[in-house]
Structure 1
Amino acid sequence: MQPALILALAPLAAFAFPAPSSGVRRVHERRDAIPSSWVPVTDPFPTTPIPLRIALTQSNLDSVHDELMHVSDPSSEHFGKHWTAKEVAEFFAPSKESVDIVLTWLESEGISRSRVEQSQSLGWLEISGVTVAEAESLLDTKYTVYLHDVTGTPHLGCGDYSVPEEVAKHVDFVTPTVHFDTRVKKEQPQRKRSAATEVGKPGSGSLPKQGATLSSESILQELEYCNEEILPICLQALYNIPVNQSRATAKNSYGIVEYTPQSYFATDLDMFFGQFAPQLVGHRPTMDSIDGGNIQTMYESFDYNGESDLDLEYAMTLVYPLNPTLYQTGDMVEGGSFNNFLDALDAMYYTFDGGDDPTEDGVYPDPYGGGYEGPETCGGYAATYVVSTSYGYNEADLTPFYEERQCAEYAKLGLQGVSILYSSGDYGVAGNDGECTYALNGTRFNPSFPGTCPYVTSVGATQIVPNATVYQPEEACETVIYSDGGFSNVFAMPSYQAKAVSTYYEYFVPPYTAAQYNNSRSVRGFPDVAASGANYVIAIDGEFALVYGTSASSPVFGSIVTLINDARLAAGKGPIGFLNPSMYANPSMFNDITMGSNQGCGTEGFYAVPGWDPVTGLGTPNYLKMVSYYLALP
């Protein structure tokens, strides 16, 4: 039986139209390969309805970099003068010209104005009653029904599509097309999607890795053993982190993002706090529930609790008495992903409803049954001053248009004074689960996203050198995991990074060619910084265990930024906001890492070298140097 599509549109509206389209077309988006696990199975019926939606090009996106630099560059007179959410929304809203030109084209193709509704966010045009045949004619394309070979989830997509030349610059992208982001609902009973199909699924490559279990009596709680077991006191010694000195908790904020079914166990938090931070026993993070997010207790194992336990046990301990906010995203049926989280912060963004395939983002109310039946979370939650996320995708699994649109949203958050941190990944120059990409001329490195977005701070991993102490230089992490790092295949090199990357290439040319990675010397390098990522002791499901991953590095670095914000707020100043320009302007406040590499894809990867490198970035934080620097800024 052929699948049909779900259609849900708002009331109709009327528009005024200029002259018709010329009809001269060009390819607007193309997908060169089908995402893994998707199999083409059949052609859809020509009469199958499609929820066709056109994302309009936002105004002023070409100036987002410059505007963000104005408030983030320490040499700018506008440093720290962050925008309000209203100012950001008005600055980037699509122009009336874009709306009118796209609507004129639609009318010239036989789609009347009565069938078109502009979304509340203004960024989308939603068209009712569109069939497969009509969409194929409109976009000069051919649709195919795909099935996910694990979940059986169907999807309608195409390899490329075209729009008129004069329309192209006013359209960001169209769905459903190449993005694998629209569900096809079967006419027969729909199989429920498992929570294991989401970004937080058990076994996901971006989750931390478990090591040996420990008894509470065997834990080595002295600094001389930090090379074997990382505890809060080790991090405080390594990075000069103050203990319980927060002074502006009423003004400050720190957010940790988790994706259901990943969730903490309250007994694990208390077990950890009882051993290492007694003042926190009984404390819980403040939870913002996004799209039915809840602290599930149905499943108890490292694969379900390891990430959240790790993030919260260390973040809550390091920033005490500040209580972090937990952005718990997605329910147990649909789950959620980065777009669901961003929707909750920005009502202007929520209609994006994107992702590279249906297993990445949740759709609400749950169309499959058994999940969250409430409306999709659209705005309503404030962004904390620092947001740390320990999950990631492979850049190659997503389309550039999708990544660029999401990256622009991180820039907008930066304009509002928010520091966005992502862990860089755990597989060296390979992607999640050690996946590399393949081209005609061989195996290529597989950078991660959102770490390659120039408007986030990507955090790699280090480790204490075996048999060394916390007072000696660290090295790139080479125990269980390898710090992801490299160069983007999508994003150009940001201005703040140009000097550091140019110096790297001048003195430390990697022994690889364009066959392995983008060696154009003109693209974004990552990570930006690093922090310890090996041998963390956590309480997990009633016992202690060692954990490894950049999943630990990001919340630790975020905790340090939160404490620096605390000092600035206590001094009557604002939060730092987007970190990268100020960090690259003063690299001496980091502990330079010059040992280790990030092997992967059959190579030794890149090497940690003096200065910035695509393994550990600028190095690890020194709180005392950082807070001194940032307190001196406006």
Structure 2
Amino acid sequence: MLAGFLLLAVPWAAFALPSPSIAVKRTHERRSVLPHQWEEHSDAHPDMRVPLRIALTQSNLDVAYDELLKVSDPESPDFANHWTAKQIAQFFAPSKETVDTVIAWLEDEGIDRSRVKQTDSLGWLQVANLSVTEAETLLDTKYRIYKHASGAPHLGCGSYSVPEHVSKHIDFITPTVHFDSPVNAHRQEKRKRDVEPGIAKTIGQPRIGTTPKQGASLSVPNIITELEQCGSQITPICLQSLYKMPFDLQLATSKNSYGIVEYTPQSYLATDLDMFFKQFLAKAVGQRPTLDSIDGGEPQTELEGFGYNGESDLDLQYAMALVYPLNPTLFQAGDIVEGASFNNFLDAIDGTYCTYEGGDDPTQDGVYPDPNGGGYEGTENCGTYAPTYVLSTSYAYNEADLTPFYEQRQCSEYAKLGLQGVTVLYSSGDNGVAGNDGQCLTANGTYSASGTRFNPSFPGTCPYITSVGATQIKPNGTVFEAEEACETVIYSGGGFSNVFPMPSYQASAVNSYFEKYPPPYTAAQYNNSRTVRGFPDISANGANYVIAIDGEFDLVYGTSCSSPTVGSVITLVNDARLAAGKKPVGFLNPTLYANPWMLNDITTGGNQGCGTAGFTSVPGWDPVTGLGTPDYGLLVAKYLTLP
């Protein structure tokens, strides 16, 4: 090494130095222990072929927010000038420098350029016909065969190395330290707290996330038929009246689309759909959503009951009724054995997400084909389906459930969807300032029955989605009067993030809230820095919905009701724009915050939790109901004036 440095002092030394790409290598990834139920079996034969794939680092993520505002800000000349999936892939694709650097390294290692191919998603380089001997030399490693308890073999190694100047251009390489799903060393370094393994893919299990709460059963003769009775029961006609939605009148159905996202084992029952439609929309009897099956997802009937059918029945019955005759798409994610996470869904609608920032986390997300057998044995869905113009999801985690890195990676994907003109809606939670199941935090961010720190939801705190809270008709009130924050059975989730900074589009509204109505809490209860994302953004009724469930009518409650309702309103706004030759509205928030008059301001009610009264609804934006509830007439009038 000393001689090498001394050579730099003489003019001819450069001719004696090795090429930078074959310089001393450093460890890029290392695995300290084998994954559960895996064991080392044997050395790999030197002539065995290695399907080497190199995940390249993406570019331009630092300007994603600025680009999103250009197509979402109502004052921008580029409003609604949405990007295509191809443009998204190209813009965030690895830079030419990254591609050239990695290919030059491969060539310096003796791998001819003709053997290297960049994938259509642009995020990978594939090396053809590589032997174990070549791969071991390239990566300064030793390959072995590992076997799972099920008998499945896997080619891998304990660590591998690349040159320093190449490392920054590579997320990870397979097959190496990864077992059936990529997880890179960078992710482990960025973990800031311990989280429960596998919680992300349990989102569809009963009583997990923001699944609706069950109320009283109803006999058919007791179901309301008059608008004056909507204070005790909510039916489709109540919502159409509350939010001034058009009745069965659409002009661009063939051009429009609306997606409802569900996670197995949650599943609708066809008999429940028909029972609901027979009562409220007879001409829809027999209609079913269009199924986009993700990683083996299907409307399962093996497990039934409110805990398995309540969410999907609710979402689809109201979405299908409110946007009829448009037929929504059902994105059903995950098989009944393993389940799925939000990441698994995002993989299916964006092929570039499958590899972004090292890919999904196998300790949290569904791994397909199922490595343990018994589940979905097909290839993981990656860019299989196109996203719909509106995506409504009635599920949510707590921010504390997942690592900041996991959340930030996913949040960036919602920005990409917004750039493509997709409206992404998530319910904000049903336990006020507490998390799912009323969980609160201690000062160090862990769960505790005696915790007093507020527990914000995710993705509700991601600045690139629209978070939907819940309201209710006031006791003895009607659809023609102002609503209040939901305080029947559930409380509208709301508060402030512990992870994401405040986006510029909501700065004025949130700062005004703090100046005029400062909450009576300190930093001991919530992030009161006034620099972080506040949520929700918008709300809709979330109490006393009548649904058909397992052969009977029940009342249900939750922001699970609110999200598909707002999604239906926006889908109808899109219909009007599409009929006028315009594009869908896309990411809502910049326009909503710039034009709060389009919404019905909610000024009463709160969202108690964590041993406190929570926040309070006030004039303007608040962390209970956001900017208020939608008024279709005002929304469509404004959006039709925009490009």
The answer as to 2:630 corresponding to 1:630 is no
Task: Give the equivalent residue in structure 2 for 1:339.
Answer: 343
Q: 1:507 aligns with which of 516, 536, 539?
A: 516
Corresponding residue of 2:623 = 614
Match of 2:239? 235
**Percent identity between the aligned chains?**
67
Distance in 1 separating the partners of 2:544 and 2:630: 18
Change in CA separation of 1:70 and 1:367 when aligned onto 2, cut-off 3 Å: same
Amino acid at match of 1:248: A
Number of the residue aligned with 2:176: none
Q: 1:374 aligns with which of 369, 374, 378?
A: 378
Using the TM superposition, give the Cα deviation of residue 606 of structure 1 relative to its aligned residue in structure 2, in angstroms. Answer: 1.1
Is contact 1:241–1:560 with CA below 8 Å preserved after alignment?
yes
Q: Is the 8 A contact 2:429 2:435 kept in 1?
A: yes
Distance in 1 of aligned mates of 2:126 and 2:231: 56
The number of residues matched between the two structures is 568
- SS of residue paired to 1:557: helix
1:224 aligns with 2:228: yes
Give the Å deviation of 1:89: 0.5
C-alpha deviations, 1:458-483, integer Å up to 9, x for none?
10111111111111111111111111
Amino acid at match of 1:395: E
Task: Sort the Cα spacing of 1:463 and 1:204 in 2 relative to 1 into closer, same or farther, 3 A.
Answer: same
Structure 2 distance, partners of 1:207, 1:423, is 10
Please say if residues 207 and 307 of structure 1, whose CA atoms lie closer than 8 Å, have aligned partners that are also in contact.
yes
1:575 is aligned, of 584, 589, 592, to: 584
Partner residue in 1 for 2:72: 72
Give the structure-1-normalised TM-score: 0.81
- Tell me the TM-score normalized by structure 2: 0.80
Question: Does structure 1 conserve the Cα–Cα contact (< 8 Å) formed by 2:183 and 2:362?
Answer: no
3-state DSSP of counterpart to 2:511? helix
SS at 1:444 equivalent: coil
Distance 1:105 1:425 in 2: 49
For residue 260 of structure 2, what is the aligned residue in structure 1? 256
- Tell me how far apart the structure 2 counterparts of residues 163 and 496 of structure 1 sit (CA, whole Å): 42
- Contact 1:194 1:333 survives alignment (8 Å): no
Give distance in 2, aligned partners of 1:85 and 1:493: 27
Match of 1:532 in 2: 541
Instruction: List per-residue Cα deviations over 1:203-238 (Å, max 9, x = no partner).
Output: 213211111111111112221221111111111111
Cross-structure match for 2:60: 60
Per-residue deviation, residues 568-597 of structure 1 (Å, max 9, x unmatched):
111111111111111111000100001111
1:407 to 384, 407, 411: 411
Q: Secondary structure at the match of 1:410?
A: helix
Q: Secondary structure at the match of 2:254?
A: coil
Q: Offset at 1:431?
A: 1.4
Specify whether residues 179 and 214 from structure 1 end up closer, same or farther in structure 2 by C-alpha distance, changes over 3 A only.
Answer: farther
The one-letter amino acid of 1:550's match is: T
> Are 2:94 and 1:85 aligned?
no
CA shift in 2, pair 1:57/1:351, >3 Å:
closer
Gaps of 5+ in 1: 1-15, 29-39, 139-161, 182-192
**Equivalent-residue separation in structure 2 for 1:511 and 1:52 (angstroms):** 57
Matched residue, 2:489? 480
Q: Which moved more, 1:265-274 or 1:342-351?
A: 342-351
Q: Kindly report which structure 2 residues correspond to 1:187-198, keeping only aligned pairs within 5 A, or say none.
A: 198=202
* Equivalent residue runs for 1:208-607 within 5 Å: 208-352=212-356, 358=363, 360-440=364-444, 443-607=452-616
Q: Report the equivalent of 1:97.
A: 97
Distance 2:443 2:102 in 1: 37
| CA distance 1:449–1:20, change in 2 (3 Å) | farther
Shift of residue 438 of structure 1? 1.8
1:55 is displaced (CA, Å) by 6.0
For residues 220 and 589 of structure 1, do their structure 2 counterparts lie closer, same or farther at Cα, with a shift above 3 Å needed? same
**Contact 1:462–1:532 (CA under 8 A) maintained in structure 2:** yes
Deviates more, 1:94-103 or 1:583-592: 94-103
Structure 1 pair 357–592 and aligned structure 2 pair: CA distance change class (3 A):
farther
SS at match of 1:287: strand
Q: Mark the structure with the bigger radius of gyration.
A: 2
Q: 3-state DSSP class of the match of 2:253? A: coil
What is the one-letter code of the residue matched to 2:367?
V
Could you tell me how far apart the structure 2 residues matched to 1:113 and 1:528 are?
Answer: 53
Closer, same or farther: CA 589–374 of 1 in aligned 2, 3 Å:
same
> Which amino acid counterpart does residue 419 of structure 2 have in structure 1?
L
- The answer to whether the Cα contact below 8 Å between 1:248 and 1:567 also exists between their aligned partners in 2 is yes
Inter-partner Cα distance in structure 2 for 1:361 and 1:318: 33
2-side partners of 1:487 and 1:317: how far apart?
34
Distance 1:525 1:101, change over 3 A: farther
Find the aligned partners of 2:300 and 2:509 in 1 and give their Cα distance. 44
Displacement, 1:24? 10
Matched residue, 1:187:
none
Aligned to 2:183: 175
298-307 or 403-412, which moves further after superposition? 403-412
What is the one-letter code of the residue matched to 1:454? P
Give yes or no for contact 1:594–1:609 (8 Å, CA) kept in 2.
yes
The answer (yes or no) to whether the contact 1:179–1:357 under 8 Å persists in 2 is no
Maintained 8 Å contact 2:183/2:361: no
Q: Which residue of 2 aligns with 1:202?
A: 206
Deviates more, 1:318-327 or 1:205-214: 205-214
Range moving further from structure 2, 555-564 or 603-612:
603-612
Shift of 1:96: 3.9
1:222-279 Cα offsets, whole Å, 9 max, x none, are: 2122111111111111111110011110101100001111110000000000001111
SS of 1:63's equivalent? helix
CA distance in 1, matches of 2:23, 2:482: 63
Aligned equivalents of 2:590 and 2:261: distance in 1? 24
Residues 59, 92 of structure 2: 8 Å contact kept: yes
State the distance in 1 between where 2:116 and 2:436 align: 40
* CA distance 1:451–1:217, change in 2 (3 Å): same
Report the secondary structure of 1:228's partner residue: coil
Distance, in Å, in 2 between the alignment partners of 1:129 and 1:203 is 49
For 1:66, give the aligned amino acid. D
Contact persistence 1:269–1:313 (CA under 8 A): yes
Aligned residue in 2 for 1:13: none
Q: Is the 8 A contact 2:21 2:163 kept in 1?
A: no
Instruction: Write out per-residue CA displacement over residues 91-142 of structure 1, whole angstroms, 9 at most, x where no aligned residue.
Output: 101224345668999999x9x9999997764436899999xxx9xx99xxxx
Any gaps of 5 or more consecutive residues in structure 2? Answer: 1-17, 30-34, 45-50, 141-160, 173-181, 190-196, 446-450
Q: Mean alpha-carbon deviation: is it higher for 211-220 or for 196-205? A: 196-205
